Amino acid sequence: MSKTFKIIYSVIFFLICLFPLILMPFFKNDASLEKRELNKMPSFISGGKLNTDFSNQFEAWFNDRIPLRAELLSAANIIKGEMLHAPTSNVIIGKDGWLFFTEEGEDYMDTTAMTENQIKAAAVTLSLIEEQIVTKGGSFLFVPMPNKASVYGEYMPSCYMEASDNNLTRLMDKLDEYDVNYADMKKVLTDNKDKGVYHRRDSHWNYQGALIGYNTIMDGLGREHKTYEDASLTKEKTWRGDLDKLLYPAGGFMDYQYVYDIAYDDFEFTYPAAVADKNAQLELFMSDKEQGDTLFSTNNKVINDGSSLFMVRDSFGRAVLPFFIDNYENATFKRTDCPDIVSLEDKTDFVYEIVERNLYRVIATAPFMYAPLRDNDVVTGTDDGKKIEVYKDKQGYGLRIFGSFDDDTDLGDGRVYIRIENAKEVLTFEAFPIYENKLIADKKGEEAAEKSDKSGFSAIISNEYEFGDDYTIKIIAGDSIYTE
């Protein structure tokens, strides 16, 4: 091999290597397509020390900004997904062009089962929220949205074996036991699956499924409502699914959407204020761009009956927004895992919607709600000298008390009580049976895990109760009394 050829070969090699760097200033990748934030440029110094992980962080930053990244991902996924039918880009390639979110496979096969204590904790938590809403004169409805695989499992790959039981079915059984008002959306949507209630290439229901779901929710709340049963319907191939975008960020395949011709009441946004184009703003909130949709409120200019709705929602709540806005004088929609019950006005209906694959979030953080007072004589247990670690935080809104149980603790029916005693009185409150993962990690100076299967308790005691500085705390659970 001649020297000239070696030089030319080396130059071409280095030019190819430099090509992405040369093109980088002229290309900008869209993070919204991949449903995540792009990695940030790392610093050589982190926490006052040399960043020993700089090379890995830089590689991640660079990979997110490679020119033509979307085109390269799309080409790779066509080969892996459409030709080899292999899971890729957090997407399961199903039968007949159906796509499923990877996390759906875990629920489908029940490989990430919540513990019995966690299922009880979720049911008790929802029962306490419902109790408070009903006390305030409103109606409560829990709406667990089934994963698409739970409704259209026949299109899952054959290598995925459907479990006979999973978190959703176990929780609904427990909700029946605790008499919590919920909508069995899995049954409703399965009964209507032949109509086509989910997108093929999106993880969510379509507008036809959403209309069926809306009527189910309003029936569950016991509220008279418009059914839109006579609205004309057209089927248009205009929808770009979120799963399709994950697979083919440079451009993939369109899906069908059901479009209703409905004349909705005139409305306005009360938050955010001064919206110039309300219809464009609503369309944005209904899209998958997720821009500013954490909290917003509306006022129906036609309805004047004082009706009010507060909806805790996730991305499934987008498609039902126009229906609820059209049926309540005032409606508020909040994306959160920690609903604020204290601030709710009286006679407000409360809808708690969450998708099946995120059910564990119901008990990830305790709702912002004052612990209800219970009768001392009713809440009993055996005090055999067991000790428990309790954390206390005095805040402007009240006294927050939280802690955890040992892994082998028998929690009985899942209900946890906090008894506070001082020289003058003894008061018993019911706590949320929730392990405050983040709060306890902060107390211990540790990093909180994304998920935890530990059992715990959390309560906020209102400032109307004064205990002074000399008081004792006892925790009652599973017929046992634990001393602080």
pLDDT tens digit string along 184-238? Answer: 999 999 999 999 999 999 999 999 999 999 999 999 999 999 999 999 999 999 9
The count of C-alpha atoms lying within 13 angstroms of the C-alpha of 62, restricted to the half-sphere facing its C-beta, is 11
- Tens digit of pLDDT for each residue in 13-29? 666 555 555 555 545 55
Q: What is the pLDDT of residue 73?
A: 57
Looking at the fold, whether 328 and 186 belong to one and the same domain comes out as yes
Q: Look at residue 15 and tell me if it is in a domain.
A: yes
Looking at the fold, whether 193 and 288 belong to one and the same domain comes out as yes
- What is the pTM (predicted TM-score) of this model? 0.85
Q: Look at residue 111 and tell me if it is in a domain.
A: no
Q: What is the pLDDT of residue 85?
A: 57
Distance CA 295, CA 272 (A): 8
Looking at the fold, whether 355 and 467 belong to one and the same domain comes out as no
Looking at the fold, whether 354 and 442 belong to one and the same domain comes out as no
CA–chain centroid gap for 111, Å, is: 19
Q: How many domains does the chain have?
A: 3
Distance CA 415, CA 389 (A): 18
Looking at the fold, whether 30 and 141 belong to one and the same domain comes out as no
Looking at the fold, whether 129 and 277 belong to one and the same domain comes out as yes
Looking at the fold, whether 295 and 183 belong to one and the same domain comes out as yes
DSSP conformation letters of 370-403: BPPEE-TTTS--EEEEEE--EEEEEETTEEEEEE
Looking at the fold, whether 248 and 319 belong to one and the same domain comes out as yes
Q: Look at residue 128 and tell me if it is in a domain.
A: yes
Looking at the fold, whether 255 and 199 belong to one and the same domain comes out as yes
Q: What is the pLDDT of residue 41?
A: 63
Q: Look at residue 96 and tell me if it is in a domain.
A: no
Looking at the fold, whether 309 and 404 belong to one and the same domain comes out as no
Backbone dihedral region for residue 202 (phi beyond 0: left; psi -120 to 50: alpha; all else: beta): beta
Q: What is the pLDDT of residue 453?
A: 85
Q: What is the pLDDT of residue 288?
A: 87
Q: Which residues of the chain have pLDDT under 50?
A: 26, 75
Q: Read off the CATH number of the domain in which 461 is found.
A: 2.60.40
Looking at the fold, whether 196 and 324 belong to one and the same domain comes out as yes
Beta bridge partners of 426: 421
Looking at the fold, whether 337 and 435 belong to one and the same domain comes out as no
Q: Look at residue 81 and tell me if it is in a domain.
A: no
Question: Which of 27, 44, 67 is at the close of a domain?
Answer: 67
Q: Look at residue 104 and tell me if it is in a domain.
A: no
| Residue numbers of the domain that contains 466 | 373-483
Q: What is the pLDDT of residue 11?
A: 66
